[in-house]
Structure 1
Amino acid sequence: MRYVMESRDEARRLLVQERSGNAREALLAAGLQRGDRVLDAGCGPGGITELIAEMVGSSGHVTGMDVSEERLAQARQLNQHHAHVRFQSGDVRRTGLPDAAFDFTWCQFVLQYVPDRWDALAELARVTRPGGKVVISEFDGFGLGNWPFPEPLQQWCQHFTNALLRTVGLDVHVGRKVFHAMRQLGLAQVRVHLLPQFVIAGTADAAMYQDWETRFSALEPAVAPLLGGLEDYRAMCQKYLELLADPDALKYSILLVTEGTRP
């Protein structure tokens, strides 16, 4: 599985995203408890792993898993002060972990990138003990909640998200689909928590602006050919960045945190 967002700046971007998001609120809403054995599936550079480790305390245990050895090295460095944390290489679709090994399995911003994402969900349920929680945190309609939203830019954003799905399998609407998938899988007590991923009333700050610049740059090789070529792609990306900088525009995105219990 190739990670389409890879770039020289991606580790920094991911860590900023992890530390500035609503992970603590989402984890608490889904019922994370002290002493839990937790899998952080697709842990990236380990920012949320660190948060989970603090929340479960030394009586708990956290396993961080990622396909990227580079990310795992960063995560180990960040979490070296936590004796109850370990990291290992693994694919969310085929973890190689024992059945029923965790009380709480957490996976954020991963299924959106995985073509066979529901196989991955089944694997995450398998490694969760009966009575344990599987928690999937994903955005829904990322980057599409804006007003004013000029019609040409709105249409381009729709073409952009369609191109992502066709070329690299990235689904910006995956958040809304997890509830149904958990029900079909047979998970019990499936609940959905709605949180803001971001709300920008006015001009976006420098970190958000840079985040979008990094996204557009990383995705350029895959989607620019489907969107009129490089020149047109960069021109429309600039239009979106101008929208982020508009002091009179609202920009927002929602996060759907879906939890299910393994029977």
Structure 2
Amino acid sequence: MRYIMESSDETRRLLVQERTGNAREALLLAGLKPGNRVLDAGCGPGGIAEVIAELVGPSGHVTGMDLSEERLAEARQINRRRPHVRFIQGDVRRTGLPDASFDFTWCQFVLQYVPDWQGALQELVRVTRPGGRVVISEIDGLGLHNFPFPESLREWSQRFVEVVARTTGFDIFAGRKFFTEMRRMGLGNVRVHLLPQYVIAGAADMGLMLDWETRFSTLEPVVASALGGLEAYRAMCQEYLQLLADPDALKYSVLLVTEGTRP
């Protein structure tokens, strides 16, 4: 598994994303309770682990797992005053954790990067106790929901998505796939919650603009040659950023939060 968004600014970008998103609402919708033992699989720099720790309280426990030692160091620093939180290095596909260790297993913005996401999901089910909840929160169609959306820019955005998927395995439509797979795996009471990742009625704020600028610059070495070369790629990225800044345009992105109970 290769994390395609790695950059010198990635820890900051992830923390902003974690702290301004809908994780709290999603966690509560999926039934997180005080006292739960929770796995935050792919915890990044620990911003959502903060929220989970608050919601489960001192009678609960949070284990954050991530591949990146840099992210884990930041997560430990952010959560240093929370004795009921720990962080370990690990791969969501092969956690090395005992069977049935957690009441509630949470994974957000991770399986979109994992080509064998079915195997990773099975591993997350394995470490969840019978009767516990497995919750996957993922994007679906990021960056493609805009109006007005000039035809040339819409076509380029679609090609951008296809090139990224082909060259990196990143799945921009990951969110829609977990309901069927959880049902196939035999999980019970499988439910899906639709939440906004962002809704921009007018000009995007500087935080979101910076987020997209970082995405485009990080992916440039990977996809520019397949999208007409560096000059053409940068020109279309600027056109997309202008759309985000357009005070008369609507831009939105959705999350699909899928939860199921291990039998």
Distance in 1 of aligned mates of 2:95 and 2:125? 11
Post-superposition CA distance 1:14-56 (Å, at most 9, x none): 0000000000000000000000000000000000001100000
AA paired with 1:248? D
Distance in 1 of aligned mates of 2:224 and 2:183? 37
Post-superposition CA distance 1:41-86 (Å, at most 9, x none): 0000000001100000000000000000000000000000100000
AA paired with 1:155? E
User: 1:13 corresponds to which residue?
Assistant: 13
The alignment partner of 2:91 has SS state of: coil
User: 1:45 corresponds to which residue?
Assistant: 45
User: 2:106 corresponds to which residue?
Assistant: 106
AA paired with 2:259? E
User: 1:93 corresponds to which residue?
Assistant: 93
Post-superposition CA distance 1:179-210 (Å, at most 9, x none): 11111111111100011110000000000000
C-alpha displacement at 1:139, in angstroms?
1.0
Post-superposition CA distance 1:98-129 (Å, at most 9, x none): 00000000000000011111100000000000
The alignment partner of 1:145 has SS state of: strand
Distance in 2 of aligned mates of 1:257 and 1:183? 15
User: 1:148 corresponds to which residue?
Assistant: 148
The alignment partner of 1:146 has SS state of: strand
Distance in 2 of aligned mates of 1:8 and 1:132? 37
AA paired with 1:134? V
Post-superposition CA distance 1:139-196 (Å, at most 9, x none): 1100111000000000001001111110000001000111111111111111000111
Q: Report which stretch shifted further, 102-111 or 215-224.
A: 215-224
User: 2:218 corresponds to which residue?
Assistant: 218
User: 2:118 corresponds to which residue?
Assistant: 118
Gaps of 5+ in 1: none
The alignment partner of 1:209 has SS state of: helix
Identical columns (%): 74
AA paired with 1:132? G
The alignment partner of 1:19 has SS state of: helix
User: 1:256 corresponds to which residue?
Assistant: 256
Distance in 1 of aligned mates of 2:234 and 2:211? 16
Distance in 2 of aligned mates of 1:216 and 1:181? 31
AA paired with 1:105? T
Distance in 2 of aligned mates of 1:254 and 1:215? 18
Please list, as runs of the form range in 1=range in 2, the aligned pairs for 1:200-219 lying within 5 A after superposition: 200-219=200-219
Q: Find runs of 4+ consecutive structure 1 residues off by over 3 angstroms.
A: none
Gaps of 5+ in 2: none
User: 2:168 corresponds to which residue?
Assistant: 168
User: 1:229 corresponds to which residue?
Assistant: 229
C-alpha displacement at 1:247, in angstroms?
0.3
User: 2:130 corresponds to which residue?
Assistant: 130
The alignment partner of 2:237 has SS state of: helix
The alignment partner of 1:2 has SS state of: coil
1:81 aligns with 2:81: yes
Distance in 2 of aligned mates of 1:4 and 1:217? 11
TM-score in terms of structure 2 length: 0.99
Post-superposition CA distance 1:198-245 (Å, at most 9, x none): 000000000000000000011111111111111111110000000000
Q: How many residues align?
A: 263
Distance in 2 of aligned mates of 1:185 and 1:150? 41
AA paired with 2:170? L
The alignment partner of 1:191 has SS state of: strand
User: 1:177 corresponds to which residue?
Assistant: 177
User: 1:198 corresponds to which residue?
Assistant: 198
Q: Report which stretch shifted further, 86-95 or 217-226.
A: 217-226
Q: Report which stretch shifted further, 45-54 or 175-184.
A: 175-184
